Amino acid sequence: MTASGQPISQYDTSMPRVVSGAVLLVVALLVMLSIDVSWVAETFGFQKRVDARVPTFFIRMVFLIAVLAGAFISFTSLSYYKRNRVMLAPWLFLSIGLAFFLIYVIIPIFQSISYSFTKWNGLYDVTGTWTGEWVGFYNYRLLLEDPNFYTSLANNLLWLILFMLAIPIGLGIALFLNQTVTGIRIYKSMFFFPFVISQVVVGLIFSWAYNPEFGLLSEIWGWFFCEQKLNIVGNLTTSCSIDPPSILGEAKYATYGIIAAGLWPQIAYCMILYLTGLNNVSPDQVEAGRLDGAKGWKMLRHVILPQLRPATFIAIVVTVIGALRSFDMIATMTQGGPFGSTNVLAYYMFDQAVGEGVGRYGYGSSIATVLFFIMLIYISYFLWRMYQDEKTEH
């Protein structure tokens, strides 16, 4: 015991704990590594090896947790840890999440970039050997000559530009709804509604709306230009003086049609950002503005918008990301068609890499890499902004 009455062992390494933790770690690790699907299938009597995969995974997970527990016990019992607790504790907190994130997100980025220098169809041969070959910049040279790549790139640009409309429209709706009449909260929720629905469902809704045979649009069109007639075998059929536009079937409209569908939830998102922003606009400044005789457009431009800048920033970020990630809508509505005219990089990559039987892993990866570097511009901008904020805060 020290003079202060603290146990002297406060900063001692507690050997039994370190050792037992280490033993647990090593044993669990060995067991984890030795368990494989075939063994589980045999032991638990699974007829098919496939069915044993999930149980194997769970058994491995249990041992992984034991490994982590062992490591934790061992490490936190070291006197080194105890002496440097404040310095080491954050790494303990970070370890699992960071490792997980690195394995599944950060490392794959570099793997994909390395795939892009290969020609590979995704297969390994019987011995598990990789069947691809290194081809240097070959895939990128192909990209430069691929008209589909340029179509995708142009469409990505179109998405980016037109998606930005979500911001002013969202602001417009937010201004329209920023009142305190009764029931306005319900209106706000209902306007936000499209954002909650999955893009697949939005895509299906709009596919139907655009359908030239019996959709929403053709129905409205039919009021003006079409009539019902009997055909040769006596069934009712529609005949139109001017045919309804086949929005998803014609290359010149299809991308616009999909973007319009994509804008619907995106506008809702921007609207909610601005509604929150408007809530926090300082009433004093608005009053001061009014006293200066500012109103309407002038007020919006000089008093309100500057205060909404954080909302605008977030709106731009999410809209850019949304535009570049556009995949679900295209997959649901056109699969990139007609003849590849609605491809964007995200969909084209998917189609080339794992689309039916195509299996061009290398080429697909080079498309993904291009998309990644485009996105990286925005990511860097976003991080730079964040960095500026962090600096001013401290």
Partner 1 sequence: MFPAPIEKSTSSVQTAYKVALPVALLLWLLPLIAIFLTSIRPAVDINTGNVFGIPSEFNLIENYSAVFQQTDAWRYMVNTLIITLPTMIISVGLACLTGYALAIYKFKSALPIFFVFVAGNFVPFQILMLPVIDLSNRLDIYNTVPGLVMFHAAFQTGFCTLFMRNFMKALPFELIESARIEGVGEFRIFWHLVLPLVRPAIAALAVLIFTFIWNDFFWATVMIQDDASLPITVGVRSLNGEFVQQWQLISAASLLAAVPPVIMFFLMQKHFIAGLTLGATKG
Partner 2 sequence: MVFIDPDIGSTFSLFEESGFFNWEENLMYKSLIRATTAVSAAALLATSAWASDLVVTYDDLNPAPKKAFETVIEAFKKANPDINVTTNITDREAHKSAIRNALLNDAPDVITWYPGNRMGPFVDAGLFMDISDLWGSDPNLSDKFNAIKATMTRDGKQWGVPYSFYQWGVYYRKDIFDKLSLSEPKTWADMLGACDKMTAAGVTPFTIGTKYLWTAAGVFDYLNLRTNGYEVHNDLTAGKIKYTDPRIRATFAKWGELLERCAPIKNHATMSWQDAIAPFAKGDAAMYVMGNFSVAAYKDAGLKDEQIDFFQFPEITPGLARAEEAPADAFFIPAKAKNVENAKKFMAFIATPKIQGDWNKAIGQLPPNSAAEVNKDDKFIVEGMQTLSTASGLAQFYDRDAPAAMAKAGMEGFQKFMLDPSTLEEVLTNLDKVQAEVY
Q: Which residues bind partner 2 (CB under 8 A)?
A: 7, 9-10, 12, 14, 17, 20, 23-24, 27-28, 31, 39, 42-43, 47-50, 66, 69, 72-73, 76-77, 82, 121-126, 128, 131, 142, 145, 147-148, 211-213, 231-235, 237, 243, 246, 248-251, 334-335, 337-340, 351-352, 354-360
Residues 6+ apart with CB under 8 A from 5: none
Q: b/e string for 190-223 if b means 16 or more Cβ within 10 A? A: ebbebbeeebeebbebbbebbbbeebebbeebee
Lookup result for tokens 């995708």: 152
Q: Min. distance of Cβ 384 from partner 1 in angstroms?
A: 10
- Token representation of residue 35: 């368990």
Does 205 bind partner 1 (CB under 8 A)? Our answer is yes
Any contact of residue 201 with partner 1 (CB under 8 A)?
Answer: yes
Measured from the CB atom, the residue of 254 and 349 that comes closer to partner 1 is 349
165 binds partner 1 (CB under 8 A): no
Tell which positions 321-340 bind partner 1, by CB under 8 A: 321, 324-325, 327-328, 331-332
Of the residues 3, 230, 233, 236, which one makes contact with partner 1 according to CB under 8 A: 236
Residue 45 CB, shortest distance to partner 1, in Å, is 18
* Smallest distance from partner 2 to CB 69, Å: 7
Stretch that binds partner 1, among 14-22, 141-149, 193-201, 242-250 (CB under 8 A): 193-201
Residue 197 in contact with partner 1, rule: CB under 8 A: yes
Using CB under 8 A as the binding rule, whether residue 53 contacts partner 1 is answered as yes
Taking the least distance from each CB to partner 1, the nearer of 122 and 249 is 122
Among 254, 341, 345, 363, binds partner 1 (CB under 8 A): 345
Nearest to partner 1 of 66, 286 (CB atom) = 286
Six token digits for residue 50: 């496939």
128 to 122, 124, 125, 132: CA distances (angstroms): 12, 5, 5, 12
How would you classify the pairing of strands 236-240 and 226-230? antiparallel
What is the pattern of x (binds partner 1, CB under 8 A) and - over residues 279-318? Answer: xxx-x--x--------x---xx--xx-----xx-xxx---
229 sits in the region (left: phi over 0; alpha: psi -120 to 50; else beta) called beta
Nearest approach, Cβ of residue 57 and partner 2 (Å): 14
CA-CA-CA-CA dihedral for 225, 231, 235, 238, to nearest 10: -10
3-state helix/strand/coil string of 162-196: HHCCHHHHHHHHHHHHCCCCCCHHHHHHHHHHHHH
The CB-of-57 to partner 1 minimum distance in angstroms stands at 5
Whichever of 149 and 192 has its CB closer to partner 1, that residue is 192
Nearest in space to 33 (alpha carbons), one of 56, 1, 4, 6: 56
- Residue 39 interaction partner, one of partner 2, partner 1, none, beta carbon < 5-8 Å per kind: partner 2
Tokens of 221: 């069109």
Q: What's the closest the beta carbon of residue 159 comes to partner 1, in angstroms?
A: 13
Binding to partner 1 in span 104-133, by CB under 8 A: 104-109, 111-113, 115, 122
- Comparing C-alpha atoms, which of 369, 329, 364, 330 is closest to residue 349? 364
What are the φ/ψ torsions at residue 290 (nearest 5 degrees)? -65, -40
- Under rule CB under 8 A, which residues in 54-113 are in contact with partner 1? 54, 56-58, 85-87, 89-94, 96-98, 100-101, 103-109, 111-113
- Residue whose C-alpha is closest to residue 135's, from 365, 356, 370: 365
User: For residues 252 and 391, which CB has a smaller minimum distance to partner 2 in the complex?
Assistant: 252
DSSP string, 257-268: HHHHHHHHHHHH
The reply to whether omega before 310 is within 30° of 0 (cis) is no
- Neighbouring CB atoms inside 10 A of 155's CB total 25
